[in-house]
Copies of this chain bind each other. A is one copy, B any other.
Amino acid sequence: MNAVHNVMETAVRDLLDQQWENLSISCHCEMCKLDVYALSLNRLKPRYVRDQSGSMYAKASLMTTQARATILTAITESAKVVSAYPHH
């Protein structure tokens, strides 16, 4: 039974992909990107839904300007942490 997923993952990944090149971070390697991704997800409230169920409502709620601003703040803060304490 692993038929649930966190729609926040897609929302953070999309925004991170869009903003990665503009992000103020000491290293732009793939490993640091994954660290920023994981850290951002840990700072945001999860939105798990059943795989079969319509996750459209949950997804739509993450597309508002407010939700995107909250996610971008989490990404920026996480980038600061990864810059200060890179894993490599």
Contacts and interface: CB of A to CB of B under 8 A. Distances in A.
Interface residues of A, number: 27
Contacts of A31: 50
Contacts of A65: none
Contacts of A37: 1, 4, 48
Interface in A3-23: 3-4, 6, 9, 13, 17
Q: Which 10 A-B pairs have the closest CB atoms?
A: A38-B48, A41-B48, A4-B38, A46-B46, A34-B50, A42-B48, A42-B46, A4-B37, A3-B34, A38-B50
Interface of A: 1-4, 6, 9, 13, 17, 30-31, 33-35, 37-39, 41-42, 44-50, 53, 87
26 contacts: A1-B17, A1-B30, A1-B33, A1-B34, A2-B9, A2-B13, A3-B34, A4-B9, A4-B34, A4-B37, A4-B38, A4-B41, A6-B6, A6-B46, A31-B50, A34-B50, A35-B50, A37-B48, A38-B48, A38-B49, A38-B50, A39-B48, A42-B45, A42-B46, A42-B47, A46-B46
